[in-house]
Structure 1
Amino acid sequence: MSAFNQGAQAQSRVPQSIGFLLLDNFTLISLASAVEPLRMANHLSGRELYRWFTLSQDGRAISASDGLQITPDAGLADTPALDAVIVCGGVDIQHSVSREHVQWLQAQGRQGRQLGGVCTGSWALAKAGLLDGYECSVHWECLAAMQEAYPRAAVTTRLFSIDRTRSTASGGTAPMDMMLHLIAREHGRELAAAISEMFIYERIRNEQDHQRVPLKHMLGTNQPKLQEIVALMEANLEEPIDLDELACYVDVSRRQLERLFQKYLHCSPSRYYLKLRLIRARQLLKQTALSIIEVASVCGFVSTPHFSKCYREYFGIPPRDERAGQHSANVVALVPMAEELMRPSSSSAMAALSRAQGESSFASVRL
């Protein structure tokens, strides 16, 4: 049973009604990414599976972060009957959530509504106490602040999180992935795949995928040398640069280089470099038709057996199974590590690193 499905509804084919609560300066792309799969689900199925309504606090027009205005279908005082509510957040979320929003959301929770948020919409749910004990996703710009403000919410760097009656997604197109997963659970994978094809959406990402949080966001502007080193690593994955050369390029000693990585990234430079290469390999395995041998070569591995060994140790699954779409239950992502980087004083960063050898969520890895 999915987060937005009550089972009996699906049996009787009663359309699910979803309200999209728009906050000031919401991001239009996140709203569209969440609504359009519902429209296409109705179109391709030939029947009304979903109904949706836009809501604002007072029912008046509300502006998106790009300046476009949306005239909502209703205000909070006269909302239609709903099965689910999704909060659409955006810029300056800390000042966009009013007491009225919080009270209304709490009332929806008491009435058993399914609740969700896109972009920074999770902040509103957390402020209302509706994410306590739930895993949730939020746009990376808001991630550290939300962890600090609402420690009872299990904030992750996942693109989206579906945890019981809560479904939350980060910004951009991530809400589309979340909605496609919900549609697949309710009405079958074939329909979700057909929607993806209609939108020329090459791959429906899953809950194992994480946001790529820019390193500069994690470190601020205080470590230009470290940022420069990481940029060099990212630009030279096929032919890795020797660490002594890297240190020379940015005018630091090898010892200084080691200290920078240990202090701010909680791992050695060689470990970090290997992780970048393996992340690139994972993207190529999932998104291209390159053979495993070719992927190994492109990512700087001297032999396929060595690549396979490193890949399995890192992700808990061999490259062949990754290509086939099989996911090991033992895969542990680097989310704890990424989150701990935003809390430099935490003593659990190294413990998180020792628990996991998963994927990058704090480096900007480009194809």
Structure 2
Amino acid sequence: MKAMIKRELEQSASIISSIDPTQVHAIADAMTVALKAGSKVVFFGNGGSAADAMHLAAEFNGRYLFDRPALKALSFCSISAITAIGNDYSYDDVFCRNVESIVQRGDVVVGISTSGSSKNVLKAIRRAKEMGAVTVGFTGIKGALKDETDLALTIPTDRTPRIQEGYMAAGHVICGLVENAMFAKKAAFIDRDDTIVKDVPYCPRPEDLKVFPGVGKAIKRLNDAGYLVIIVTNQSGVARGKFTEATLAKIHEKLRADIAAEGGKIDAIYYCPHHPDEGCKCRKPNLGMIERAIDEHHISLGDSFIIGDSAHDVELGKRLGIKAIQVSEGYTFVKAIGDLLKN
């Protein structure tokens, strides 16, 4: 029994990990464009797909990962409407009639069908396309739905349970992408040593921390421009026994205070305490610290940048796919921020 359960879970995980991320991204982008334009997203399907349609619409109406304004989305799930249309016309018309009454040009219309052949889903998708909506299909590898929509999320299997698990996993990713694109914040990820403070090897005391001139005012400019200011710094001195995390906390208290004295605000500080040989996931240029910041502060990477003095900072920017700025004695943090905000 355990072997069977493990096999089922492994199959599900394998299918989910094989979903084409470009399809997910394209659908999220289309929904974001529509919602920003004041249009809406509509979901529908039969049976379990109807429940999934309600689920996804609720993620937009309510919240997915963080509090924000409601997003315009609905599902065609009224039992009264479905049975009335099915009785008076045909079950093939239950979604099409809803499309005709509610959908407008520019809306995104998502038809969900594990078989890809549900007649009522296909009929509604065709009508929505005629009306100028962007059509999306959540389906498997069989049936016509994937070929009749503008965008398709094609789960790479013909097994119904795996298709359902796949499009709900991808659906949640889409919800997160749309939520971030609509409401997430931009961030300035800033290195510490030799970027905003003079590098004191394994700085052991708060009084040894010296902020470069003008840094506090430059950070205030970032604050005023709507950036979260996030410090990301490798501090292997903890693992080497040069100072404790309690001492590091006091050093960072002084850093916050020095920046505040010039009107600036540091929103968060993330540090890696590990030795370079430990192979941790947080030491730059690894992504660990940034991933924590994204999750905890709801950051949109597309509008963010990283700035630091080392090749590790530049490499981290490349791995994230964001702008990376390298500073030096000749091109200081203050100058770089001035150029960035001017442009």
User: TM-score higher than 0.5 here?
Assistant: no
Which one has a bigger Cα radius of gyration?
Answer: 2
Q: TM-score, normalised by structure 1?
A: 0.33
Q: TM-score, normalised by structure 2?
A: 0.35
